[in-house]
Each structure stands twice: as structure tokens, then as C-alpha cells.
Amino acid sequence: MSEDSFWRRPDDPAPGPSRPADSGPVVAAYVPPPRMRLPPPWVSSGPLLARETPAPVLPEQDHATMDAVESQATTLTVVVAIAVGGVALVLLVLALLRLVF
């Protein structure tokens, strides 16, 4: 007896109460999809479209001021990056000096 024999189906299944012994394999009957219904008469031939409200008018933007603020932000970002890089370089040199000595 192999290890998988417990999990195999029996060769000759016993007929159950819902399936007589002389019947063949169970075949499911084909059920076609439901018939399409016509749309209600108040629907026109085209698709229903919702009427959208017009988009609100956005305020005008001051591009010169925006460019100046963006330039200041870029300068601040570069200064902070240089400062962080300098601190990291100093810490790296101190760590290497500690390993050497």
C-alpha cells in the first residue's frame, strides 16, 4: 500500500441517493444568458450625458514672484546639502583617525 492510496478516489464509487447506479456521467445543462431588454421609452437613442457646470476661473499668478521664491528655495537647499556633506566628511575623517590610532 503506497502513501497516496489513502487520498485516491475509490475505483467503483457506490451509487448515492441522488444518482442511480445505471446513470452516466452528470452533465450540466447549458443555460443561455438572459435576453436583452429594450431601454425605457424616455431614453433617447444616444447615451445619457450629464450637464457639467463650467470650471471656476483661477486667480492670476505672479510668475516673477514665484521664480524668486523658487530661486531662494534652491539656494537654501544647496547650502543645507553642502553643510550636511561637510559634517559627514568631518565625521568620516574622525572615524578613520580613531581606527588608525
pLDDT in tens, 45-89: 666 677 888 889 999 999 999 999 999 999 999 999 999 999 999
Specify the amino acid at residue 99. L
pLDDT in tens, 9-25: 766 655 555 555 566 67
How many Å apart are CA 101 and CA 93, to the nearest integer?
12
Q: How many residues does the chain have?
A: 101
Nearest to 61 by CA among 70, 73, 74, 52: 70
pLDDT in tens, 26-36: 777 888 888 88
More confident residue, 98 or 3: 98
Q: What is the DSSP letter of 92?
A: H
Specify the amino acid at residue 21. A
